[in-house]
Amino acid sequence: MKYTSEQAITEIKRRSREIKKARERKLTKALTAVTCFIAIALVGEVGLLSGPGVGGDLASSYGSFMLTPESGIYVIISVVAFLVGVSIPLLIKKLRNKGAHGE
């Protein structure tokens, strides 16, 4: 069966989309598996670091077992830095899209 040029180009684009979707599905599955593994490892590590849990103090149950009283300011600074680090790129992206569309 012979194709016209337009049919061949259409078929190539369709096949290209299929290949790209298959690659994205494969990557999504791999990232999901890695994320699940990391989450399980994190839960296990927190369980090991928090101690037995029975008869311990209340702080060990809520995740503050890894923090010393002096480290509170560092936690606040890191949270603020994270929020700024996320907000600035989002703001830049929004301003670029607004400028590109002329709104």
> What are the tens digits of pLDDT across the range 22-48?
999 999 999 999 988 988 888 877 767
Is residue 65 scored above 70 in pLDDT?
A: no
Residues 81 and 96 in one domain: yes
End-to-end CA distance of the chain: 50
Q: Give pLDDT, residue 97.
A: 84
Average pLDDT in the 73-87 region? Answer: 85
What's the pTM? 0.45
Q: Give pLDDT, residue 76.
A: 79
Domain that holds residue 97: 68-103
Does a structural domain hold residue 4? no
Residues 30 and 60 in one domain: yes
Q: Work out the percent of the chain whose per-residue pLDDT is above 90.
A: 26
Residues 6+ apart with CB under 8 A from 98: none
- Report the number of distinct structural domains present in the chain: 2
